[in-house]
Amino acid sequence: MRRGALAVVGLAMLCRAACGQVPDSGRWQELRFGADEVAEQMEGRYLEQVVELAAGGRLDDDRALLARLQRIGAGLVRAAAELKPEAAAWQWEFHTTRDADVDAQCMAGGKILVGSAFVRKLALDDGELATLLAHEVAHAVAEHDRETLSEALYFNRQPEPPLDVLLERLATDLSLQIRLSGLSQLQESEADQLGMVLAHRAGWAGAAMVSFYRKLAADDAASMLSSGHPAPASRLSMAKGMALLFTAPQLDAVVAQARP
């Protein structure tokens, strides 16, 4: 009887260690890699990218935009820490690049890179830029990199590959990317919604968020942010619905009560 009880307890502990929940929505995730392990691997890849950009003179060359990213990002990080306290200890970084292939991206642990050409093309004001940044912050808060890597294990034959090998496969194996496309779309939709919650908590108006998604929907050339994402019209509809929720007095009261 005692052995059975211990087995049940051990199974429960294993489940808790392998499962997580997305802040705000509560969606359950299976997380088979440790957060620190994933953050370390992603940071290494991020450093390689920013060093290459810096060597080519393409990193942080727009000082005004960089200052905007850091100012707006600070408020979003505070909002993120309210929903996920451990995020306060992450080494958040905001950088900009004139590389035309970059729109916006975030890696585990809060490493964010924004393309200055993309920001200029859409003429983003501060509220719209906050919406873009909040989407990227949401990816980190929801630990989407960690979830994707965990899910990718199911499509790899035994023995289980090391994390760095799995990362390489994710970057180069088209068939694996296709198999994970459903999860990717779910995560992008989730980052849209959670990002709007973070932006709202940071004090940005719902109208600015709707304006950002309206610009995406109107700009056919914004396909970089549409690839692997919900359709632009669907994202705009979502933003309008979320903005309406933010104006509800009862929601504002709940958010106020949740603040420390």
Q: What is the pLDDT of residue 176?
A: 92
Distance CA 79, CA 73 (A): 10
Q: Confirm whether 199 is domain-assigned.
A: yes
Distance CA 205, CA 244 (A): 11
Distance CA 236, CA 230 (A): 10
More confident of the two residues 249 and 114: 114
Tens digits of per-residue pLDDT, 160-196? Answer: 888 889 999 998 999 999 999 999 999 999 999 999 9
Q: What is the pLDDT of residue 195?
A: 98
pLDDT band at 259 (very low <50, low <70, confident <90, very high): low
Q: Confirm whether 11 is domain-assigned.
A: no
Q: Confirm whether 122 is domain-assigned.
A: yes
Task: Confirm if 149 and 33 have CB atoms less than 8 A apart.
Answer: yes
Mean pLDDT for the stretch of residues 67-90: 97
pLDDT band at 248 (very low <50, low <70, confident <90, very high): confident
Residue 77 structure tokens: 């990080």
Q: What is the pLDDT of residue 181?
A: 92
Among 9-13, 194-198, 232-236, 253-257, the range scoring the smallest mean pLDDT is 9-13
Distance CA 179, CA 161 (A): 17
The count of structural domains within the chain is 1
- How would you class 204 by CB atoms within 10 Å of its CB: exposed for 0-12, middle for 13-18, buried for 19 or more? buried
Q: Confirm whether 166 is domain-assigned.
A: yes
pLDDT at 51 over 80: yes
pLDDT at 223 over 80: no
Distance CA 1, CA 192 (A): 49
Which segment, 66-75, 229-238, 239-248, is predicted with the most confidence on average?
66-75
Work out the mean pLDDT of the chain and round it to a whole number.
Answer: 87
pLDDT at 251 over 60: no
Q: Confirm whether 3 is domain-assigned.
A: no
pTM score of the predicted model: 0.86
Q: Confirm whether 110 is domain-assigned.
A: yes
Q: What is the pLDDT of residue 157?
A: 63
Distance CA 235, CA 229 (A): 9
Hey, how many other C-beta atoms are within 10 angstroms of the C-beta on 194?
Answer: 25
Residue 165 structure tokens: 């090998």
Q: Confirm whether 53 is domain-assigned.
A: yes
Task: Annotate 163-218 with DSSP letters as a single string.
Answer: HHHHHHHHHH-HHHHHHTHHHHHHHHHHHHHHHHHHHHHTT--HHHHHHHHHHHHH
What's the CA dihedral at 61, 68, 44, 78 to 10 degrees?
A: 170
Distance CA 197, CA 144 (A): 17
More confident of the two residues 155 and 151: 151
Biggest alpha carbon–alpha carbon distance for the chain: 67
Q: Confirm whether 10 is domain-assigned.
A: no
Provide the residue range defining the domain that includes 180. Answer: 29-205
**How many residues in total does the chain contain?**
260
DSSP state of 162: P
| Start-end of H helices in 56-115 | 63-83
pLDDT band at 13 (very low <50, low <70, confident <90, very high): very low
